[in-house]
Structure 1
Amino acid sequence: MTAADGARAWRRWSARDDLPSAAVQSIPAALVLPGWQAGVADSGLAVAFDRPWHCLSSAVAGGGWGTAQGFANRHVDDHDRAALNTPQTLIADFAVQRGLAAPCVGMLTAASMRSLRIATVDIEGELVCVFVTAGLANARRAGDCADRRELRPGPCEVGTINLALATTLALTPAAQVETLTTLTEAKAATLQSLDARSPLSNAIATGTGTDATAVFCADTGEALPYTGKHTLFGEYAARLVIDALTDAIRPQSGWVDGC
């Protein structure tokens, strides 16, 4: 980490030492956006927002473009498999249990919540943070032969990399799409560095078959029009993902103590 990085107050948090626990463990406020409240338990991550935030996501509940007042990353067990055909119901029930207001953006994962990593950086007074949970049981490389050979299959196997980025900055719709692309590339770069392999092709995996990604941003202020690899925002969005996802997959002692 450079001196400039240190001045940007890079912060990290891991659920590894707080779980397993059925009780909700509060996530330090310094790791999330102002006005957000986040907590994690074995059952999943829940983040309540103080007001609606813009969102673009591939989430199974509340996906697409819209606004949200909460974010849920719900853990699914074997007893949940019968309900995977109705993911919106699973997310809605979880949101009620954890006090999230509607509308809520929700993801599902079979990965342990012990894999939850949060990394946040302050850039010129604006926050960018990522939430990551990761499991590789379902690792795939883009272009691998599909597990289901019909156009509209039922639920697939779970073992998922879920990513969410949140920022106090406003982003144009195009910049939200560009950020989603940057996060996906950062995920693929991480798996390449870790030599994670697809069990189907034995080629380096680029994700899993059930990944979900979300970008949350402010609804006021001058919007950033560009967030790609030439921009400071794009650089740090990718670095946050690479840092957090690497530790989620291969935990390192002292990860929370600094870069």
Structure 2
Amino acid sequence: MAPAPATWWRWSARDDLPSATVQTIPAARLLPGWQAGVAGSGLAIAFDRPWHCLSSAVAGGGWSMAQGFANRHVGDDDRAALNTPAALIADFAAQRGLAAPCVGMLTAASMRSLRFATVDIEGERLCVVVTAGLANARRAGDRADRLALRPGPCEAGTINLALATTLALTPAAQVETLATLTEAKAAALQALDARSPISNDIATGTGTDATAVFCTSAGEPLRYTGKHTLFGEYAARLVIDALTDAICPQPGWADGC
């Protein structure tokens, strides 16, 4: 018997923002036990229990057990505080009621670019969360803007990307998933013909991107999540779908599949 087809869900913040009031994101678009809300100041997701995370986030990055996820918008008034990103995240998380420890990212991209793309397959769920700005688009290998090994804050822009799944992943599979998400981001930018202002070649991201992979510890862990696997296929498709609309919004995207 053939497996049941995958079910896709989408949610866009484009029609709900700008707003100083927190807009609740439908639970049907999230992982079980997650509660999420977004306002112009950023996205906050509270977890009902700790989740494994591997990320390049400025707060709580690396390997961690996280109780929440924050993607804080930074404006002109925040520039002086960018040297202490963890403090910015901690203050935002406290204001939005997120329990510590929290994985946190910063972005100057508008929260109107926030997209959730979710797929249910074989009783499991994969969900991708994206915000995107291309103000500092770059291609891997471009000439560096900062000529010291320990530079200060970089220019604004940023593609912040997180994938969460109800599946358990081995540590190696989390790393492989991080690589798959990065390749999918580059594939989406290639299809959009997004260009680096440094080299004028097709961009592969921005200079300040952050990426995270959240997974559970329940059940037998997946060992492989690369491009040969169904997990890898759907993870990449979710990123391409959500990131493409975050950069070039399409009418009715949140209702389509």
**TM bracket, shorter-chain basis:** over 0.9
1:215 aligns with 2:213: yes
**Deviation, structure 1 residue 258:** 1.4
In the alignment, the residues of structure 2 paired with residue 183 and residue 93 of structure 1 have an alpha-carbon distance, to the nearest angstrom, of 29
Give, as a single letter, the amino acid of the residue that structure 1 aligns with 2:29: L
Aligned counterpart in structure 2 of residue 55 of structure 1, from 53, 56, 65:
53
Helix, strand or coil at the partner of 1:10? strand
Aligned counterpart in structure 2 of residue 240 of structure 1, from 238, 241, 247:
238
Helix, strand or coil at the partner of 1:151? coil
Equivalent residue runs for 1:141-152 within 5 Å: 141-152=139-150
In the alignment, the residues of structure 1 paired with residue 221 and residue 39 of structure 2 have an alpha-carbon distance, to the nearest angstrom, of 35
**Structure 2 alignment gaps of length 5 or more:** none
In the alignment, the residues of structure 1 paired with residue 6 and residue 139 of structure 2 have an alpha-carbon distance, to the nearest angstrom, of 34
- Alignment RMSD (CA, Å): 1.1
Helix, strand or coil at the partner of 2:126? strand
Give, as a single letter, the amino acid of the residue that structure 1 aligns with 2:197: P
**Deviation, structure 1 residue 127:** 0.4
Give, as a single letter, the amino acid of the residue that structure 2 aligns with 1:217: C
Helix, strand or coil at the partner of 2:166? strand
Give, as a single letter, the amino acid of the residue that structure 1 aligns with 2:142: D
TM-score relative to the length of structure 1: 0.98
Helix, strand or coil at the partner of 2:54? strand
Aligned residues: 256
Helix, strand or coil at the partner of 1:234? helix
In the alignment, the residues of structure 1 paired with residue 141 and residue 89 of structure 2 have an alpha-carbon distance, to the nearest angstrom, of 30
Aligned counterpart in structure 1 of residue 10 of structure 2, from 12, 16, 20:
12
TM-score relative to the length of structure 2: 0.98
1:65 equivalent in structure 2: 63
**Structure 1 alignment gaps of length 5 or more:** none
In the alignment, the residues of structure 2 paired with residue 50 and residue 8 of structure 1 have an alpha-carbon distance, to the nearest angstrom, of 26
**Deviation, structure 1 residue 124:** 0.3
Identity of aligned residues (%): 84
In the alignment, the residues of structure 2 paired with residue 141 and residue 23 of structure 1 have an alpha-carbon distance, to the nearest angstrom, of 36
In the alignment, the residues of structure 1 paired with residue 12 and residue 248 of structure 2 have an alpha-carbon distance, to the nearest angstrom, of 12
In the alignment, the residues of structure 2 paired with residue 144 and residue 81 of structure 1 have an alpha-carbon distance, to the nearest angstrom, of 25
Give, as a single letter, the amino acid of the residue that structure 1 aligns with 2:213: V
Superposed structure 1 runs of 4+ greater than 6 Å apart: none
1:74 aligns with 2:77: no
Aligned counterpart in structure 2 of residue 183 of structure 1, from 164, 181, 192:
181
